[in-house]
Amino acid sequence: MKTTLLAVGVLLTSSLQTQMAPLPSAVYSKPKQAPKQDGGRQSSEFAKGSTLDLAELSIHTSTLKPGQTNHPLQAYNDSEELVIVQDGRLTATVQDSTKTLGPGGLLLIVAGDKQSFRNASDAPATYYVLKFKAKDPVDRQRALTGGGSFMKDWSQFKVVKTDKGETRPVFDRPSSVFKRFDVHATVLKPGISSHAPHTHRAEEIILMTKGSGEILIDKQAHKAAAGDVVLLRANVPHAFTNTGSAECGYFAIQWHSNAE
Confidence (pLDDT) at 31: 74
CB burial of 210-237 (b: ≥16 within 10 Å; e: otherwise) equals bbbbebbbeeeeeebebbbbbbbbbeee
Using 50, 70 and 90 to split pLDDT, how confident is the model at 32? Answer: low
- Summarised one tens digit per residue, pLDDT across range 229-247 is 999 999 999 999 999 999 9
Confidence (pLDDT) at 2: 42
Using 50, 70 and 90 to split pLDDT, how confident is the model at 6? Answer: very low
- Summarised one tens digit per residue, pLDDT across range 112-148 is 999 999 999 999 999 999 999 999 999 999 999 999 9
pLDDT averaged over the chain?
91
Whether residue 106 has pLDDT greater than 60: yes
Contacts of residue 239, defined as CB under 8 A and 6 or more positions apart, other chains included, come to 193, 194, 195, 196, 197, 198, 215, 216
Confidence (pLDDT) at 3: 45
